[in-house]
Amino acid sequence: MNKPRLTQASAPLVREIAVVNEHGQPERISIPAERALTVYADKRELVTLMTLGAFPEHLVLGYLRNQRLLPSVADIESVTVDWEVGSAAVKTRSGIDQIEARTAQRVVTTGCGQGTVFGDLMDEVDQLVLPDTRITQAQLYAIVNTIRLLPSVYKTAGSVHGCALFGGFAQEGEHLLHFVEDVGRHNAIDTLAGWLWLQPDGAVPFDLVFYTTGRLTSEMLIKAAQMGVAIVISRSGITQMGHDIAQQLGLCAIGRAANRRFLCYSAPQRLAWEQLTAPTATVSHGV
């Protein structure tokens, strides 16, 4: 595969500021960075993303992928991020097909997010076939615990979303593959998608599990499914369209996951409970 050339632009992820607490006393705390990154594809301005700036090149790749602007990462020659001017210059190998029309439609998404070509995504949902990913309750708890123990901007400064890909459960693992944080959960999942796009065929396990601190809205589940993820775990809850899509896809959506508690919203057959109680089958096939 022709991998794109990427810069490795870095910038401070947190800043220390002075605040006054409820006793009127000064304190110093850390807050997360938030910076504007304007993406240009072949010198055409596409979008400005507000980001923490941890992995800006992967964010740009994931944005291009999840906006369906390019079919393959091999179509990208380079991504050059320059924080001095807040720009990411994408050079493609042969241009973006119908770029005018495809960047004209704006969809503004629910929770924490960004516009995507949502309509197009929904059309493709029916064609997705998810892998036969299954995990045990112990593996679920291990994932949640791994996230809990990771050093993070969230622990230092709060106010960011984290998300991660795990895999290799068929080999009795719960291997953390990649963890990213960003000011918004959409940028975070796009960054993961960009990272995944760069991995050679066969380099990642088939049974990917996606963890997010954010809510499971429709678009988050579609983006996860398009990465080939069949199990999604959230610290937060789910919305109605998220639930509909998870059921439609047979994607196991798990929410409120913390302290050995969780709720399974869909496809419970992908999760092996350790108690004797068998999960009801009514959840996996919705109205």
Within residues 154-173, the interface with a second copy by CB under 8 A covers: 157-159, 161
CB-nearer residue toward a second copy: 15 or 93: 15
Measure the CA–CA gap between 57 and 261, rounded to whole angstroms.
36
Output b/e per residue, 150-189; b: 16+ Cβ within 10 A. eebbbeebeebbbbbbbbbbeeeebebbbbbbbbbbbbbb
Cβ 20 to a second copy shortest distance, Å:
4
With CB under 8 A as the contact rule, the residue among 87, 146, 152, 239 that binds a second copy is: 239
CB-nearer residue toward a second copy: 54 or 204: 54
Within residues 67-86, the interface with a second copy by CB under 8 A covers: none
With CB under 8 A as the contact rule, the residue among 66, 92, 114, 133 that binds a second copy is: 114
Within residues 120-139, the interface with a second copy by CB under 8 A covers: 137
Cβ 3 to a second copy shortest distance, Å:
25
Q: Identify the CA nearest to 182 among candidates 64, 37, 41, 71.
A: 37
With CB under 8 A as the contact rule, the residue among 18, 85, 149, 203 that binds a second copy is: 18
Helix (H, G, I), strand (E, B), or coil: what is residue 216? strand
CA atoms within 13 A on the CB side of 101: 3
With CB under 8 A as the contact rule, the residue among 89, 112, 204, 232 that binds a second copy is: 112
In the numeric block, the tokens 């057959």 are attached to 269
Task: Check residue 25 for interaction with a second copy (CB under 8 A).
Answer: yes
Measure the CA–CA gap between 25 and 27, rounded to whole angstroms.
7
116 with 123: CB under 8 angstroms?
Answer: no
With CB under 8 A as the contact rule, the residue among 8, 21, 94, 127 that binds a second copy is: 21
Phi, psi of 231 (to 5 degrees): -135, 125
Stretch that binds a second copy, among 22-30, 86-94, 166-174, 221-229 (CB under 8 A): 22-30
Task: Check residue 258 for interaction with a second copy (CB under 8 A).
Answer: no
Cβ 230 to a second copy shortest distance, Å:
17
Measure the CA–CA gap between 150 and 117, rounded to whole angstroms.
33
87 with 40: CB under 8 angstroms?
Answer: yes
* Tokens read off for 176: 């953390």
CB-nearer residue toward a second copy: 204 or 264: 264
Contacts of 170-173 with C-beta under 8 Å, sequence gap 24+, read 170/205, 170/206, 170/207, 171/205
Taking only Cα atoms into account, the Rg of the chain, rounded to an integer number of angstroms, comes to 19
With CB under 8 A as the contact rule, the residue among 1, 2, 10, 27 that binds a second copy is: 27
Cβ 94 to a second copy shortest distance, Å:
23
CB-nearer residue toward a second copy: 5 or 260: 260
Task: Check residue 282 for interaction with a second copy (CB under 8 A).
Answer: yes
Task: Check residue 212 for interaction with a second copy (CB under 8 A).
Answer: no
Helix (H) or strand (E) holding 222: helix 218-226
Task: Check residue 44 for interaction with a second copy (CB under 8 A).
Answer: no
Q: Between 169 and 198, how does the x/- string for binding to a second copy read (CB under 8 A)?
A: --------------xxxxx-----------
Burial zone of 91 (CB within 10 Å; 0-12 exposed, 13-18 middle, 19+ buried): middle
With CB under 8 A as the contact rule, the residue among 58, 65, 235, 243 that binds a second copy is: 243
